[in-house]
Amino acid sequence: MERLEGNLLEQVPIDKSVGSKIRYKALVLDFLVVASAFYVSYSCADFLRTGAIVKFGVGVFLFLILSSFEAVLVKSFSRRFILLLLETAALLSFFYNTPIRYLGAAGGIFLALSIFGEISSRSKISNSIQLQAGWNLKFWTWSLGLWT
C-alpha cells in the first residue's frame, strides 16, 4: 500500500463563477438605475406635455429606490461617480429641444447635489456600527429619524 502524505482533505479552489455572478448582479443594478433615469426623463417630458402624473410619480419612485440601493451597495467612489454622470445624461436625454445652457446648468446642479449626497451618505455609512447581519444600525436609525 502506498502511504498518503499531507492533508487528506483536498482544498477545493474557489469557483470562478461566484465572482462573475456578483459582478453580474452589480451590473444589472447599474443598468436598472440608468434605465430608470431614462424613464424618469421620458415620464417628466410626457408630464410636461400631457400632464400624466402617475407615470412621472412611478418613475421618480423607482429611480429613488434603485439609486438608494446603488449608493449603499457600491463601494467604489469612482464607479459611483461614473454612474452619476450616466444618470445625469439619462435624466437630460428627453429634453433635447431645450437650449444647451439650460441643460448644462440643470445637469451641473443635479450632478453637484448628487456628489454632495454621495459623499454625505458615505460618511454616514463609514461612521455607523456594523452588525453581524451586515445592517448599519446607526445609518438606518439616522435615516428613519430615530438617531439623535
pLDDT in tens, 72-83: 788 888 888 999
CB atoms under 10 Å from CB of 138, counted, come to 15
User: Which has the closest alpha carbon to 87: 26, 20, 31, 47?
Assistant: 31
Reported pTM:
0.69
**Distances from the Cα of 105 to the Cα of 38, 88, 100, 110, angstroms:** 19, 11, 8, 9
Measured distance CA(85)–CA(91) in Å, rounded: 10
Measured distance CA(113)–CA(101) in Å, rounded: 18
Cell of 103: 441643460
pLDDT in tens, 48-73: 999 889 999 999 999 999 988 888 78
What is the chain's mean pLDDT, rounded? 79
With contact defined as beta carbons under 8 Å apart, do 93 and 106 qualify?
A: no
With contact defined as beta carbons under 8 Å apart, do 97 and 91 qualify?
A: no
User: Which has the closest alpha carbon to 29: 57, 88, 81, 71?
Assistant: 71
